[in-house]
Amino acid sequence: MQEFSFDLPFPSQISQAVESAAAHHIIWIQEHGLLSKGSLREYYRWDVPGVAARFWPHSSGADLELGMDLAGWFLLVDDQFDGPLGIQPHRAAQIVQQLIDVVYSSPGSLPKESLTPAAGGLASIWSRQVRGMSASWQQRSARDWEDFLNAYTSETINRQIGIVPDVDTYLSLRHKAGLENVLIDLAERIGHYELTEAVLSMPAIQKMHNATVQVVNIIQDAFSVAKEEARGDCHNLVIVLQHHRNYSRQEALAETRSIVRRHTDEFLHVKSQLPALFDAAALPLSDRESAYVFVDDLQAQMRACHDWCRGSGRYSRVIRARPDQPTHLEEMHLEGLG
């Protein structure tokens, strides 16, 4: 467990169905060619089941399995962009487009034999993710997936030309690159509810959504800085702060704590105002109930990210490799098969 930590005003929670879902997940990643049996021992140290069980602590069965598969898919595919692929924008863009095509295709419409393991895994996730959800929700989630995936290409361009983005530019890119928008969408699917447009469009809800994305991303950066630094990767808030503000490592980490505290303070302040805001908007009871569930889900995700990052072997193990060397558990075939 890492010694560094954040003071978050949200309770730790975890699903009691984690073990049964984990058994499914290990089979799933192997069936989709995302990881071989030989790499499972190290993968177990990452505790992917634990992160899903914390992000969605009230889930179980197929719902928790979906969250777990998405978390594992992301971590394994994300690592493929460490190393040579991470400095090849043209190649990265082609791979990214294949994945974007999956979320803009009807579930089951793409021939399985034409899909790479990454695309096939995403197709499995997407087909379950959209099940029972409205067309407007599906469109929103597809856009968030597209933004997230395109950020890989943006990062490869920065690495190739040696740009260290300034703080505001970095945070704007990180807002899309961190998957958290997709995970927030998934909270509705796993919880079997949807926010209405009346709720989604409220500035208060937007502020809480944004605060959650920022908190999760910054916490991940603080815990993964050794991993990025060892590879010479600039895409980490701690590194950006050190570069542009001449902070020491400790000063940069202290600043991440301050930023997170500002966001959580704002989150709690806005949360306290919700009853009056809902009254003023004359929101129906059903809309209010969904909104309160959503707020609880946001809190769970912030705390989950922190608790998992502190204990996961993915971040406690410092990876030392040159930027042009891969750091993934094993190489995944990412090029088109069709």
Q: Which of 29-33, 184-188, 255-259, 313-317 has the lowest mean pLDDT?
A: 313-317
Q: Are 256 and 218 in contact (CB under 8 A)?
A: yes
pLDDT for residue 187:
98
Kindly state the tokens that stand for 320.
């030392």
Is the pLDDT assigned to residue 266 strictly greater than 70? yes
User: According to the 3-state scheme, what is the secondary structure of 43-66?
Assistant: HHHHCHHHHHHHHCCCCCHHHHHH
Phi, psi values for residue 318, rounded to 5°: -75, 125
CB atoms within 10 A of CB 287: 16
How far apart CA 129 and CA 147 sit, in angstroms, is: 17
Which of 99-113, 152-166, 182-196, 306-320 ranks highest by mean pLDDT? 182-196
pLDDT in tens, 131-178: 999 999 999 999 999 999 999 999 999 888 888 889 999 999 899 888
CB neighbour list of residue 162: distance below 8 Å, 6 or more residues apart: none
DSSP 114: G
- Residues 6+ positions from 62 with CB-CB distance below 8 Å: 128
What is the C-alpha separation between 23 and 151, in angstroms, rounded? Answer: 32
- For the segment 73-97, the average pLDDT, to the nearest whole number, is 91
The single-letter code of the amino acid at 277 is L
Torsion of CA 84, 89, 93, 96, to 10 degrees: 40
Mean pLDDT rounded to a whole number for the chain: 92
User: Given this model, what pLDDT does residue 324 score?
Assistant: 55
The pLDDT, as a whole number, for residue 322 is: 55
| Separation CA 120–CA 111 (nearest Å) | 9
CA distance linking residue 125 with residue 233, whole number of Å = 29
* Two tokens, residue 29: 């990643």
Question: Tens digits of per-residue pLDDT, 190-245?
Answer: 999 999 999 999 999 999 999 999 999 999 999 999 888 877 788 999 999 999 99
pLDDT of residue 306 exceeding 70: yes
pLDDT, tens digit (0-9, with 9 covering 90-100), for 1-30: 567 899 999 999 999 999 999 999 999 999
pLDDT given for residue 162 in this prediction? 87
Residue with tokens 């309770």: 11
Q: What is the pLDDT of residue 323?
A: 53
Q: What's the pLDDT at 332?
A: 84
Q: How far apart are CA 26 and CA 40, in angstroms?
A: 8
Give yes or no for residue 321 having a pLDDT over 60. no
pLDDT value of residue 338: 45
- Exposed, middle or buried by CB within 10 Å (0-12, 13-18, 19+), for 98? buried
Q: What is the pLDDT of residue 74?
A: 97
Q: What whole-number distance in Å separates Cα of residue 47 and Cα of residue 127?
A: 25
In the predicted model, what is the mean pLDDT of residues 118-126?
97
pLDDT at 258: 97
